[in-house]
Amino acid sequence: EAGVTQFPSHSVIEKGQTVTLRCDPISGHDNLYWYRRVMGKEIKFLLHFVKESKQDESGMPNNRFLAERTGGTYSTLKVQPAELEDSGVYFCASSQGSRVETQYFGPGTRLLVL
Amino acid sequence: GNSVTQMEGPVTLSEEAFLTINCTYTATGYPSLFWYVQYPGEGLQLLLKATKADDKGSNKGFEATYRKETTSFHLEKGSVQVSDSAVYFCALISSASKIIFGSGTRLSIRP
């Protein structure tokens, strides 16, 4: 069974450009989470989907970030326009139930904004 | 609020050396504590956990004991291997059911 996959693995863009990150959860997992690790610091929660609905988006830093999960399958995280401080690693995780310790993580997308 | 503090890396050891990665936490109540590991090119994996004071989590030769009196959850392994090279994250589950991670410690093992 495939794990959580993320695309692209790396992205280098200029300040002001738009970038869209994609996450494909494990098939059948209703819960999908986005996290990010900025500048080698701690990994921080961004938001949580249950199927296509946003359950909790309290960690989204500002309105330049837009997450969607149409159809309750894969999810995208768009940053528009990107700023220098958005550089970091963006992780996606999915789980079948709501217990946080059952989350399976993807390898992350490394974003560099120049 | 809740927070996790772990020793900064990178940590470089020779194969078969003893490993300790320190982790302390601040939280209300008694949260469950975790260590996650990220091997190169892979996602984070749950390595071990402990859910109450004095519990010892263990997996793959790694151990960590939930110490309430020192609010610590230090990761230890008696004899590391090259394959243990990875980034290790200490974490807790907050009262709001979110994972609170530390900043990660990169471990490199020399053959």
Has residue A24 got a pLDDT over 80?
A: yes
Intra-chain end-to-end CA distance of chain A, in Å: 37
Chain segment B57-85, per-residue pLDDT in tens: 999 999 999 999 999 999 999 999 999 99
Residue numbers in B near A44 (CB within 8 A): 101
Segment 31-60 of chain B within 8 Å of chain A by CB:
32, 34, 36, 38, 41-46, 49
CB atoms within 10 A of CB B62: 20
Pairwise CA distance, residues B104 & A40, whole Å: 8
Q: Facing residues of B11 across strands?
A: B107
For the record, the structure tokens of B90 come out as: 């200490």
Determine contact: A42 vs chain B, CB below 8 A. Answer: yes
Nearest CA to B87 out of B5, B27, B17, B8 is that of B8
**pLDDT under 50: residue ranges of chain B:** none
Name residue, tokens 């263990």: B58
Lowest mean pLDDT among A8-12, A89-93, B95-99: B95-99
| pLDDT tens figures, A32-75 | 999 999 987 899 999 999 999 999 999 999 999 999 998 889 99
B46 neighbourhood in chain A, CB within 8 Å: 101
Q: How far is residue A5's CA from residue A26's CA, in Å, rounded to a whole number?
A: 8
Give A-chain residues touching B93 at CB under 8 angstroms.
Answer: 100-101
**A74 burial type by CB count under 10 A (0-12 exposed, 13-18 middle, 19+ buried):** middle
Question: Token match 């359950």: residue?
Answer: A55
Residues in chain B: 111
Contact in structure between B36 and B99 (CB atoms under 8 Å): no
Q: Give the one of B44, B89, B98 whose C-beta lies nearest to A100's C-beta.
A: B98
